[in-house]
Amino acid sequence: MEKLLRIYLTVLILFIYLPIFSLTVFSFNSGGLTFPFKELSLEWYVKLLQSPKLMEAVYRSLKLALVTMILTTVLSFMTAYALRERFRGRLFIFYLFILGIVIPGITYGLGTALFYQTLGIKKSLWAALPVHVIWTLPFGILIMLAGFDPKIQTYEAAAKTLGGNNWAIFREILLPLLFPTILGTALFAFTLSYNESERGIFLLGTDNTIPAEILAQLSARATPELYALGTLSTVFSILLLGLTGWLVLRKS
């Protein structure tokens, strides 16, 4: 049984990481996407930086992800702050927010596009912003709720007894204690938004983000520049997620 589990684990790891490994290897292959492997080269990374379409898509993705990150962090903190108190309908409100995770992305994106069409809202980068926030917000709330230690309320009560107002309590107690969690929430929201494709693809119009631009170019022909872009995006996402995990674990 143990041997079968090891085989299963090996196959699973290869299935997950082999495509990423091959993507990275070919991005450094001067011969492009074909065997045999010629020689190590940064040619495709240079061409990536010289590609106006891809670099504009990177800029749009970063811009949208940054705004999504800010909104998600603020809303997650406010929601988690309210949900830590026990009140009638608390669980219903909690699950209402978490629904954003389980709703199929394609379905939600298409439904939003049809709704925008009814209202006469044109497709653009910012038309996709509410969809990105709805996708990232449930994850942000879960991370923030995990960071609200029950002892924090004791510290808040003590501060109020000593005459502290709400702003002083937030600045001197909540913010320092929750800073790693807030930063982790922000980084996770940024990563999710930066890599989001399903929910926003129907809303962007010509303002393609990185995932949408890659899908558009792949429908014609895969190019080595896309492999270079995929490698950089993967490394960037892994670093952000690693930093997020470290901050959350450090807090706990």
The SS3 assignment for 42 reads coil
Calculated CA dihedral for residues 105, 106, 111, 114, nearest 10 degrees: 140
The answer, yes or no, to whether residue 196 has pLDDT greater than 70, is yes
Same domain for 28 and 60: no
pLDDT tens-digit series, residues 96-116: 888 878 888 888 888 888 889
Of 47, 19, 40, 63, nearest to 228 by C-alpha is 47
Can you give the pLDDT at residue 250?
67
The closest of 232, 230, 247, 228 to 188, measured between CA atoms, is 247
List, in sequence order, every residue forming a beta bridge with 40; answer none if it has no partner. 29
The CATH number that applies at residue 74 is 1.10.3720.10
* Alpha carbon separation from 73 to 77, 93, 114 (Å, rounded): 6, 18, 28
- pLDDT value of residue 180: 84
Name, in order, each residue with C-beta under 8 angstroms of 40's C-beta and a sequence gap of 6 or more.
28, 29, 30
My answer on whether 58 and 33 are in the same domain is no
Tell whether 79 and 190 lie within a shared domain. Answer: yes
Specify the pLDDT at position 77. 92
Find the domain containing 213 and state its range.
47-251
- Same domain for 180 and 104? yes
- Please tell me whether residues 26 and 126 are part of one structural domain: no
The domain tally of the chain equals 2
Q: What share of the chain in percent tops pLDDT 90?
A: 15
Alpha helices (H) in the chain, listed in sequence order: 2-27, 43-49, 52-83, 90-102, 105-119, 129-147, 151-161, 166-169, 175-194, 210-218, 224-251
Task: Say whether pTM exceeds 0.85.
Answer: no
